[in-house]
Amino acid sequence: MDFSLTDEQQAVFDLAGRIFAGQLTNERFKAVDATADRFDRELWAELAKAGLLGISLPEAHGGSGQDFLATALLLEQAGRYAAPVPLLASVVMGALAVARFGSAEQQAAILPAAAGGDLVLTAALVEPGADPVSPSSTARPEGGGWRLDGSKTCVPAGPVAGRVLVPAATGEGTVGVFLVDPTAAGVSVTRLRTTTGNAEARLDLDGVALGAGDVLGSPTEGAGIVDWIVAHATSAMCCEIAGVCKQAVALTAEYTKTREQFERPIATFQAVAQRAADAYVDAEAVQLTSRQAAWRLSEGLAAAEEVAIAKFWAADGGQRVVHAAQHLHGGMGVDRDYPLHRYFLLAKERELALGGTTAQLLKLGSILATQPV
């Protein structure tokens, strides 16, 4: 892997950073935190205006046609600023999946609106005790279309989404992915409270009638689509946590240089310096592994092992970083007028999403067990 970014990728990274830095003042955060959805729609509109919501979508549908790594870098900057916008849900789990697997009609109907910021997308992958590729929700053929039943939970951006990608069993060992309008008859959306305040939802489906055109790809080959969504969402999430870690370390470095005890900055104390140095090393490892996984996905290379490694570091190393940052800030770390708590909460929410440290180690063990010595 070449660890340097192309000019186009660097431009995306820099542009996203300028927009987030310019928009997300402390007062703006407080105003957004006071809303039910914690969704900064003005920032969302600015990202759309800059072409960042469609950075990896086809040019024919309002995108810029860049690779997945460009979107991953956008997510890294979003993590650096703890941006209250549903980039992971709408851009990665929704729009990129439609661009990859959707029909020409589906792409024309959905992607321009998603790139323009007018339509928020998401995917409902989580069911208690069920693997995303083996859902208990069902879809039965009915009248040339489908009848969908089941429940999904922890749907990111669920309360604000206009379309939801819903995996459901279509037969014995087969899965389909369906495009569901959350306002359709038989769909119930219940808002869930999260540690960060970000909008999530429970989705209950009771005899939802769908047409043949609401199927994403083949109704019997949806497991591959779900695998694709999970891999790309996990990779993007790791990049988001990389940004979280980088900013948590930066805040800690600045604070320990200016906070004094015994008439000297606490950064000069050996225990403080060592703890901060360990956090810096962890943050570098999280960024390295997350970018490697995103690059391999961008290049169309096998990436299951790299994605699992990245998620392990993001979950395990990410927790060490934000805990160290909290501890070295002392009481200031729990002051909600100070930004650090946003990074701690976001890292904690992302730690277990789509599988935490144990799940990733089990996945890596399974991969290694099948490789010849």
Task: Look at residue 164 in the predicted model and tell me its pLDDT.
Answer: 98
State the CB neighbour count (10 A cutoff) for residue 81.
Answer: 23
Q: Is the pLDDT of residue 123 over 70?
A: yes
Task: Look at residue 152 in the predicted model and tell me its pLDDT.
Answer: 97
DSSP 371: S
Give the model's confidence band at 333: pLDDT under 50 very low, under 70 low, under 90 confident, else very high.
Answer: confident
Q: What is the pLDDT of residues 278-327, one digit of tens each?
A: 999 999 999 999 999 999 999 999 999 999 999 999 999 999 999 999 99
Question: In whole angstroms, what is the distance from residue 311 CA to residue 231 CA?
Answer: 10
Contact 314, 359 (CB under 8 A): no
* Share above pLDDT 70 across residues of the chain, in percent, rounded to a whole number: 99
Task: Look at residue 318 in the predicted model and tell me its pLDDT.
Answer: 97
Q: Is the pLDDT of residue 54 over 90?
A: yes
Task: Look at residue 129 in the predicted model and tell me its pLDDT.
Answer: 82
For the segment 210-218, the average pLDDT, to the nearest whole number, is: 95
Q: Is the pLDDT of residue 82 over 80?
A: yes
**CA nearest neighbour of 75 among 297, 261, 359, 330:** 297
Q: Is the pLDDT of residue 3 over 80?
A: no
Question: Residue length, the chain?
Answer: 373
State the CB neighbour count (10 A cutoff) for residue 213.
Answer: 11
Question: In whole angstroms, what is the distance from residue 290 CA to residue 86 CA?
Answer: 19
Domains of the chain: 7-119 (1.10.540.10), 123-220 (2.40.110.10), 227-370 (1.20.140.10)
For the segment 176-186, the average pLDDT, to the nearest whole number, is: 97
Q: Is the pLDDT of residue 341 over 70?
A: yes
For the segment 357-366, the average pLDDT, to the nearest whole number, is: 92
Q: What is the pLDDT of residues 247-286, one digit of tens each?
A: 999 999 999 999 878 889 989 899 999 999 999 999 999 9
Report the sign of the C-alpha dihedral through residues 130, 133, 134, 138, in that order: positive
Q: What tokens were used for 116?
A: 């323009």
DSSP 219: T
Q: How far is CA 338 from the centre of its chain?
A: 24
Q: Is the pLDDT of residue 2 over 70?
A: no
Helix, strand counts (H, E) of the chain: 13, 10
More confident residue, 110 or 258: 110
Q: How many CA atoms lie within 13 A of 47 on its CB side?
A: 32
115 residue type, one letter: A
For the chain, give percent helix, strand, coil, nearest 5.
Answer: 55, 15, 25
Q: Is the pLDDT of residue 1 over 80?
A: no
* Share above pLDDT 90 across residues of the chain, in percent, rounded to a whole number: 84
Task: Look at residue 331 in the predicted model and tell me its pLDDT.
Answer: 86
DSSP 93: I
Q: Is the pLDDT of residue 55 over 90?
A: yes
Question: In whole angstroms, what is the distance from residue 253 CA to residue 267 CA?
Answer: 8
Task: Look at residue 260 in the predicted model and tell me its pLDDT.
Answer: 78
Task: Look at residue 335 in the predicted model and tell me its pLDDT.
Answer: 85
- CA distances 221 to 10, 24, 169, 213, 293, Å, are 36, 42, 10, 15, 24
What pTM does this model have?
0.95
